[in-house]
Amino acid sequence: MTAITGDPDEAVAGIADGATVLVGGFGMAGMPVTLIEALIRQGATDLTVVSNNAGNGDTGLAALLAAGRVRKMICSFPRQSDSWVFDGLYREGRIELEVVPQGNLAERMRAAGAGIGAFFSPTGVGTLLAEGKERRTIDGREYVLEYPIKGDVALIGAYLGDRRGNLVYRKTARNFGPVMATAATLTIAEVRRVVELGELDPEAVVTPSIYVDRILDLSAAEASS
Amino acid sequence: MTFPIPPAGRTVEHLGRGPLGRDELAAVVARDIPRDSFVNLGIGQPTTVADHLAADSGVILHTENGMLGMGPAASADEVDPDLTNAGKIPVTEPPGAAYFHHADSFAMMRGGHLDVCVLGAYQVSERGDLANWHTGAPDAIPAVGGAMDLAIGAKDVFVMMTLFARDGSPKLVRECTYPLTGLACVSRLYTDQALFQVGPGGVTAVETYGTTVDELAARLDVTVSRLDGR
């Protein structure tokens, strides 16, 4: 059963220190900024954050990093023109970094959500990012063994949710949301608006409610603030 | 600006001109993208290839952040923060576009469904090894993005770069000295000075621009063949 709230603080209640938090978004598209702001207020620290990038500008994930709450970042592309918050922490040795090729990052979370114990990927063979990993030749092609990445929590941004917790996304803001939703013990989605049952076309639902534990209804949050 | 397709089986030296400009290089890459193919143009300079695809090319652009049939960059009044390319530049959604999540987007690459991807590079080896993600400098923050997945995923990997670094050292080398992105993955190398095939058969010059194969071979530490075997 998906809990629906208009209160961002209620949406992130209970996230523990030391948690692994999957954070949706590709750059700012699909980034759950309101949930992240609530997580900063909530105070959980010593977090491991899994996200494609390591924050843009000063809002969203960058603000969580700036608040000193993240011990380790697992991502594909930390270095960007506007990643000054992460860059500073990294150069001062105040944050750990694990770089994962973007497709392996997505597939490792997919595996976690799909109950796959590990998988052989051709991506990264012969590179620094595959050092120390088990290699196998299958049908004449080289692969490296990759393990799932499971989250304690996923924070994702979607477009609409219905009262049951089904989600649809908008354009390329979909990105990591559907995969992360499957890969965490507690999945929390912020949506522009919650709609009644029947308003979402069942053929068009991208994330079925079984994966969604809590929804923050941003339209209700705005109405009450 | 159009560049004729060179005759098959013969290396062409274009001598009545200088090296290719950036825009001309993009036009040559666009010329060699087969009609109706599925293509990923990476980030940065390779994205300019899209500007040179013919309107009736039938080419369908893939972007790693979850879209097929991507349109051109958005004008100021079309900008939608939910619709960007892999370089986070706002783009547009023409009729026939499709969206999908990240695991699907990379399954498309890894699964060999993309016909061509075009990437930039620091170095390419004569066998087609690619180095384009990390300078290896101790103070550099490593960032790979989708480069390793693209390098091993697309059926054909085209690289576009200058043939020589600013210090004059060749970027087409026997062995890459920068950290590798993928092994034996590049098939064609487009540079300002020449277009090469690279792979198990080594380096073959297809066309040169403002220079000859012999002049280039003298500046490179690799053996350069001609299509006609001379």
Please check whether residue B92 touches A, CB under 8 A. no
The distance of A75 to chain B (nearest Cα, Å) reads 8
Closest residue of A to B81, CA-based?
A29
pLDDT, greater one: A93 or A225: A93
Cβ distance of B149 and A103 shorter than 8 Å: yes
Instruction: Return the HEC string of B37-94.
Output: CEEECCCCHHHHHHHHCCCCCCCEEEECCCEECCCCECCHHHCCCCCECCCCCEECCC
A144 inside domain: no
A205 inside domain: yes
CATH architecture of the domain with residue range B12-226: 3-Layer(aba) Sandwich (3.40)
The distance of A198 to chain B (nearest Cα, Å) reads 23
- DSSP SS3 for B166: coil
- Residues in chain B closer than 8 A to A171 (CB atoms): 67, 80, 82-83, 93, 99
- Complex ipTM, two decimals? 0.96
pLDDT in tens, B148-192: 999 999 999 999 999 999 999 999 999 999 999 999 999 999 999
CB contact set of B146 (below 8 Å; sequence gap of 6+): A76, A101, A102, A103, B64, B86, B106, B109
Beta strands in chain B (DSSP E): 12-14, 38-40, 60-63, 67-68, 98-99, 116-119, 123-125, 130-131, 156-161, 172-173, 188-191, 194-197, 203-209, 224-226
A136 inside domain: no
Give which of B63, B85, B125, B144 to mutate to test A binding, by max A Cβ within 10 Å: B144
Q: Check if B78 is active-site.
A: no
pLDDT of residue B230 exceeding 70, the answer is no
Give the tokens for residue A8: 């961002």
Work out the pLDDT band at B121, boundaries 50, 70, 90: very high
A115 inside domain: no
pLDDT at B229: 76
d(CA B156, CA A160): 39
d(CA A23, CA A53): 9
Cβ distance of A97 and B105 shorter than 8 Å: no
Give which of A114, A100, A117 is closest to A50, Cα–Cα: A100
pLDDT of residue B228 exceeding 90, the answer is no
pLDDT of residue A15 exceeding 80, the answer is yes
pLDDT at A217: 98
Residues 157-216 of A with CB under 8 A from B: 169-179, 206
When the pLDDT of each residue in chain A is averaged and rounded to a whole number, the result is 97
pLDDT in tens, B1-37: 678 888 889 999 999 999 999 999 999 999 999 999 9
Closest residue of A to B143, CA-based?
A77
A28 inside domain: yes
Instruction: Specify the CATH number for the domain of residue A87.
Output: 3.40.1080.10
A88 inside domain: yes
Can you give the residue range of the structural domain that contains A176?
17-99+150-224
Closest residue of A to B97, CA-based?
A171
Q: How many independent structural domains does chain A possess?
A: 1
A108 inside domain: no
